[in-house]
Every structure is written in structure tokens, then in C-alpha cells.
A = this chain, B = another copy of it.
Amino acid sequence: MKIETLRWFNNRLEMIDQRILPAAFEYLSYYTASSVAEGIRSMVVRGAPAIGVAAAYGVALEALHLSEEPSTLRQAQGERVGFNKGMEEGFKVLAASRPTAVNLFWALQRMRKVWESVAAQTPQQVAQRLLAEAHEILAEDIRINKAMGAHGAALLKDGARVLTHCNAGALATAGWGTALGVFRSAVEAGKKISVIADETRPFLQGARLTAWEMVQENIPVTLITDNMAGYMMAHGEVDAVVVGTDRVAANGDVANKIGTYMVAVLAQWHNIPFYVACPLSTIDLNIASGKDIPIEERSVEEVKGFRDYHWAAEGVKIRNPAFDVTPAELVTGLITERGVVLKPDVQSIRKLFG
């Protein structure tokens, strides 16, 4: 089954509702920037690359929506205060949806540049141009994932048992996936690999999404709770770790789903290679180190239980940092679409963009 996390259908954006997977498989439709922002915020869509694509469509949808409004049509070729103001609001609400994912800002910046380049055209023309750009960002994302997959697959030996955390799969991207894309590419290249999926509390992306994706692909997958990763490593049952990332700093520090840092420390402790699948759009050269990456603290409700089922004792305080930062020293290699950067640092990362 080909997983289309986001798709353009009947002049609207459709996104798989990842909150209800794997119990149900449903698409939700989006017509405006603010509804897409809400979809990102509420985790209908998640995963840094997918969020970037969603945000690009959010901008295009806002332009389409505004260009069809009677007030905008009346303005015709003249002054377009309403259109511009609406677009700025769209950018703003999208930018505020998830602070940690750099692809969000990368996509918004790219869409803004396109907008500026056609600012003299009619709102209708602007909207069409922005929509074409969103389509291109989606197609590019899949091409990039496949390139990363090929580079990453070469790192895995035949028979490798690979642990991953959270979901950096087709569902976290426009398709194929970053970390899970590496596994797909390895299998496509004829390697037998098996995956160990951390369940990834509190949102359970591993148990729900990674396990589901791998089952769909017939790639052997074993689910463990997050606190079993050390046991598996100590018992020699993990050959490598591959995870995705939400933002990589200029020095190679990696922000990713909470718990990634623990896996990285454990991998180092057990001499197991720790790889991060990371498209260039996820590297933020404006951030010197991981210390400067903003970490989203999400609602404490998520930790009380899962969905509406709460098990935590009444009256307990709760913390819910959604991400953590893994220092570059713990990263064996960054897998990018331009190749693998071993022992990443400021110089080797800058060279990627050179």
C-alpha cells in the first residue's frame, strides 16, 4: 500500500488523520491556512517534513481562498490590501503551529519568496503559482527521501536489526519516509532487515504509526515500550539505530521526539551506531547549537493517559517536553539526500550546502 500522507484532491488539501491511526484510516479536508495550522497543532499531521508540506499547502489554500472572495475580486488589478493582509495572517498562524519543526519555517520562507516573485500578478495567478510550488515541495520531498534512503541503506548490513524511535516514516513526510525510508530502501535493495519500534509515549507514534507502516510493507517489526531499548541493546539485539529529526543545528546537534536523547546515550554506551535521517531542509544553519532550539512543552493531558483514557493519579504534577536535543558527539552519521555526514560538526555540515 502506498501511503499518501497528504494529497491534493478536489481543490482542497487532504491529510490522513494520524490521531486515530491505526484503529481507523481517514482523510480530513482543509480549505484555509488556519485550519491547516490547527491540523498541525492537533497532530492530525506530524513529522517535520510532512509539516513543511502541509504548511506550503496552507499558504496556497489561503491564497486560493482569498482570491475567490468577492472583495478581492472587486479589487482586481488595483490595490490588494485585503489579499495581502489575509496572506500575512495565514503565514503567521501557520508559523505558530509547532515551534520545533524547522521545515515549517523553511517551507513558509520558500512560499513567501515565490509570492514575492509574482506579487505583481493577479491574486488568482498568485494562488495558482503558490499551489504549483506546494505540489513541487511535495514531489521534491519524496525524491529527497528516496535519495536519503539509498545513502542510508548502504549503512545497514544484510540481516540488520534496527531500532527506531517515534515515526519518521511515510506518515511523517509526503511519502517514503526519512528513517523508515532508509528501511524501505534497504529492503528494496534486497537486504533482509528487521525493525524494533519504541512505542514512544505519550503520543505512541511508534506503536501506532511506525508499527502500522512496517506491517503494511511486510517489513518484520517488533514493538517495545520505550524503557526496553536498553535491555534490547544489552542483550545484543540491536545492530543500529536510525531516527528522524525535527531540526538539526549548525553544529550537528539533533532535536527530535522526546526520548531520542536517551536512545542516543544508550547506543553510545553499547557501541551501536546512531544515525539520523535528515533532509537538508531540516538543518537550520541559523541555530548555532542545540541549546538554542526551542523545545515545545505540550499539554499535560497527553501524559495523564492516552486520548480520553486517563490513568495517572489525581493531583500529580506533570511535565511534557515534546522533544529533546541529542548532542552531535552522540551522532554516528547524518543521512542526507547528498550523502552521509559521519561525525557531523560545523565544518562538515557547512560543506553540505557549499
Which residues of A are in contact with B by a Cβ distance under 8 Å?
22-23, 165, 197-202, 204, 207-209, 211-212, 214-215, 220-232, 234, 258-259, 261-262, 265-266, 269, 303-306, 309, 311-319, 321, 324-325
Contact = CB atoms under 8 A, between A and B. Distances in A.
Given A199-B303, A204-B311, A313-B215, A227 B228 contact: no
A38 to B, nearest CB: 23
A155 to B, nearest CB: 24
A315 B215 contact: yes
B269 A265 contact: yes
B212 A227 contact: no
B258 A324 contact: no
Contacts of A208: 311-313
Contact of A228 (B229, B258, B269): B258
Question: Which of A227, A230, A303, A315 has the most CB atoms of chain B within a 10 A radius of its CB?
Answer: A227
A223 B202 CA distance: 12
Nearest to A209: B313
A312 B211 contact: yes
Contacts of A304: 207
A163 to B, nearest CB: 12
Determine which residue in A212, A221, A225 has the highest number of CB atoms from chain B within 10 A of its CB, and name it: A225
A306 B305 CA distance: 9
Nearest to A208: B311
A306 B259 CA distance: 20
Contacts of A319: 222-224, 228, 232
A272 to B, nearest CB: 13
Contacts of A269: 265, 269
Contacts of A305: 306
A211 B316 contact: yes
A78 to B, nearest CB: 54
A211 B306 contact: no
Contact of A201 (B197, B225, B261, B313): B225
Contact of A226 (B220, B227, B315, B324): B227
Given A199-B303, A224-B319, A306-B309, A231 B258 contact: yes
Contacts of A224: 303, 318-319
8 contacts: A22-B311, A22-B313, A222-B317, A226-B226, A227-B227, A230-B262, A230-B265, A234-B325
Contacts of A200: 227
Contacts of A325: 234
A327 to B, nearest CB: 9
Interface centre among A211, A316, A319 (most CB of B within 10 A): A316
A221 to B, nearest CB: 5
Contacts of A207: 303-304, 311-313, 316
Contact of A230 (B199, B212, B225, B261): B261
B306 A215 contact: no
A84 to B, nearest CB: 41
Nearest to A201: B225
A258 B225 contact: yes
A309 B165 CA distance: 22
B23 A311 contact: yes
Contacts of A211: 312-313, 316
